[in-house]
Amino acid sequence: MVTNRSSVDPIAAPCPPKVAVRTAKKRGYAVPMDQHDQTGRPDSGGRWSEADAGGVALANRRPRWRTRASTTLELIRANPTGRITLKIFITIAGALVVTVGVALIPLPGPGWLLVIAGLGIWAVEYHWARRLLGFTRRHVQGWTQWVTRQSLGVRIVLGSVGLIFVAVVLWLSLKYSLGIDVIARLMHYLATH
């Protein structure tokens, strides 16, 4: 339970603002109610208020870094200027990562991984990105589970089709973006040597 204390009270200083606490509770997050020492660690061993978590200690289900990140984001969102700054920063950072990822998709490398990472950055602030990231995660996990249940022959065929697809995309991107026709050069090399 959060109590109203005066701003002069030295115990009230380390507690998160009331707006952030209300927002965190509304979203179902546990809010630390213990006092913190100089290192930022709880004095009483890291216990969370079970009344704030709906009778379930959420700290046991979530890694500590995620809890800290959530609390930090809620504190930033509690301030109108911080909320706008965070939204602008998340939008720009996500756009940069997604743009680099989209540029790298035709090339062999982590193109799709960067697109998904950029979507994860946007998911911090945007609900549509969170839904799309969940959709992507479910389908990638489902595909991975399906492939691992298949026989070795089916996996080899799927891997070959994937490699052929990447090779065709790489060939087309080199041909139409840089004007390098790899197949024509290979045929010319084979004909002359």
Digit-by-digit pLDDT tens for the chain (193 residues) are 455 544 444 444 455 556 666 776 777 666 665 544 444 444 444 444 444 445 455 445 778 888 888 888 888 888 888 889 999 999 999 999 998 888 887 666 687 888 899 999 999 889 999 999 899 889 888 888 888 898 999 889 988 888 888 788 778 877 887 788 888 888 888 888 8
Q: What is the pLDDT of residue 44?
A: 46
- Long-range contact pairs involving 31-40 (C-beta distance under 8 Å, separation at least 24): 31/2, 31/71, 32/67, 32/71, 33/1, 33/2, 35/11
The angle at the Cα of 107, spanning 109 to 158, to the nearest 5 degrees, equals 75
- Long-range contact pairs involving 155-164 (C-beta distance under 8 Å, separation at least 24): none
Amino acid at 106: P
CB of 123 within 8 A of CB of 129?
A: yes
Q: What is the pLDDT of residue 89?
A: 93
Rounded CA gap, 63 and 53, in Å? 15
Q: What is the pLDDT of residue 6?
A: 47
Residue 47 belongs to what H/E stretch? none
Q: What is the pLDDT of residue 52?
A: 47
Rounded CA gap, 22 and 138, in Å? 31
Q: What is the pLDDT of residue 117?
A: 92
pTM: 0.48
Q: What is the pLDDT of residue 135?
A: 92
- Any idea where the domains of the chain sit in the sequence? 82-149, 150-192
Rg of the chain over CA atoms, in angstroms? Answer: 25
Q: What is the pLDDT of residue 121?
A: 92
